Homo-oligomer: A and B are copies of this chain.
Amino acid sequence: MRSQSLILACLIFGLCLPNNINCGNILVWHTEASHWINLKPVLETLVERGHHVTVLVPSSTLFMDVSEPAPYHYETFKVSLTKSDVENAMNKFLHFTMYEAEQMGTIEMIYKLSEIVSENLEMSLLYCDGLLKSEPVLDRLRKGKYDVLFVDPIYACSELISEMLDIPIVYSLRFSMAHSVERLCGQIPAPPSYVPGAVSKLTDNMTFSERIQNFLFYMFQDVMAMYMWKRFDKYYSDYLGRPTSFCEMMGKADIWLIRTYWDFEYPRPFLPNFKYVGGIHCRPAKPLPKDIEEFVESSGDDGVVVFSLGSMIRNMTKARANVIASALGQIPQKVLWRYSGEKPETLAPNTRLYDWIPQNDLLGHPKTKAFITHGGTNGIYEAIYHGVPMVGIPMFGDQPDNMVHMKSKGAAVIMDFNSMETKDLVDGLKAVINDPSYKENAMRLSRIHHDRPVHPRDEAVFWIEFVMRHKGAKHLRVQAHNLTWYQYHSLDVFAFLLAIIALVLFMFYKILKSCVVRCCFRSRSKSKKE
């Protein structure tokens, strides 16, 4: 009945029809935090276009509030994890990356990190287990006649759901460590000589030693990834009843929507089924709430600085907060700081604390001079969208690497959260606010961001609908997926040609030797006779 009325709505209002598809059924695998924030604008647009969207949500979700009204349908399933398990795991990871990692030696850090990652992977399989053992949910999914599975592959399992329901996958991905997933599973080429591995903190313009570093980083991460994936390989093979690998299954995805663009990314080779749709969530600024607008307007010609460390960091140690607050008090701008911790003693009158700020609307305000950010991709993209220079205080994950991108493009300076002093932050802020090159570069990135043939959200929606219309996009999938690694790199061809050359040289040597022997023998026997 629901699908009938949806089709009727499509016919009446002409939704979906320009692309020759009736309203479709889209299934979405769960995700968390900023990953979920990134999927939402696409899902909302898909719903606006008349599609029916179902989001799979585990009972332990932290960020997906199924009680809130939403334009999409939630399909919840039980998992053997509680919300606090997930929260603890997240906090453990945050604490490790923010405070512990830096104090450890490399070996200890890698050991601890791999332990944390392993725990997260295990959690990923518990989600998978939860769904695959929920027979009533599976039954509804099977009857749901879904056209496509839309996934941020940060949690595994979607490949099994796609196989079970026989529907194509569209990924929405920001990055994997050193692009291991994109390279090994997606077959995207990445010469280590000029494509810095994700989170390597390198740029595309590397010195000899940086190229060595990048090369080793690729190798190390690939070995790590393949080791970690072993657990998934077994899980997937057991479930499907045939030997397979996580990577092979991921390689079947039809479209990879990459959540960056050439405003942020260094230009690099890619494949026809990789679409760079960075900035999906960006939108023009809306008017500010009255109290914030008044505070912003009171800044006069000096303008304001917007400060947020993202949705995951709401608190910090007293000492750090005081260092920061003290620096903010030394600039003529007014500062809006999203901070839920205790009010720092050094907080100056020019700085106001907020539990929440309308970040995008503030960044789009003409009085905004700079953005102090943890360097999450979403925040950076809002700054790029509005052309605001940045002071980065990166914390974990891709944040330090993201800020290196912005710094190398001349639109940001970077601070170290643990070691920065008040003066460092003051200097950094003064630089991006007073040196016009930062603003110019931020505006250049903004122009690149805005000036593309299709809006990123429309492009993402186009390719999801394309996969629905054509039941996949196999014409964009390279044959490299069907080659072994040594075939891909033509190593067997090299070996064969080298063998041929060796054989020819060997035969040439033999013939030459026999000629020499014959000549010498003849001349000797001749001289003997003489």
Contact = CB atoms under 8 A, between A and B. Distances in A.
Nearest to A203: B479
Contacts of A269: 188-189, 269-271, 478
A487 interface: yes
A448 interface: yes
A267 B271 contact: yes
Interface string A478-503: 11101100011110110011000000
A270 B462 CA distance: 21
Contacts of A492: 208, 211
Interface string A458-478: 110011001001100001111
A476 to B, nearest CB: 5
Contacts of A496: 208, 212
A317 interface: no
B191 A490 contact: yes
Contact of A451 (B189, B193, B194, B470): B470
A475 B267 contact: yes
Given A453-B458, A476-B262, A487-B211, A191 B189 contact: yes
A489 B193 contact: yes
Q: Which of A189, A193, A448, A496 is the most central at the interface, judged by chain B CB atoms within 10 Å of its CB?
A: A193
A205 interface: yes
A499 B283 CA distance: 53
B475 A451 contact: no
A205, A451, A477, A492 — most chain B CB neighbours (10 Å): A451
A192 interface: yes
A193 B478 contact: no
Contacts of A458: 453
B192 A189 contact: no
A204 interface: yes
A445 to B, nearest CB: 8
Contact of A482 (B205, B447, B479): B205
A447 B19 CA distance: 11
Interface in A180-209: 188-189, 191-194, 204-205, 208
Contacts of A477: 267
Contacts of A483: 193-194
Contact of A273 (B194, B267, B451, B470): B267
Given A191-B189, A194-B478, A483-B194, A469 B451 contact: yes
A262 B270 contact: no
Contact of A204 (B271, B478, B490): B478
A152 interface: no
A258 B462 CA distance: 22
A-B CB proximity, top 3 nearest: A194-B479, A204-B479, A269-B269
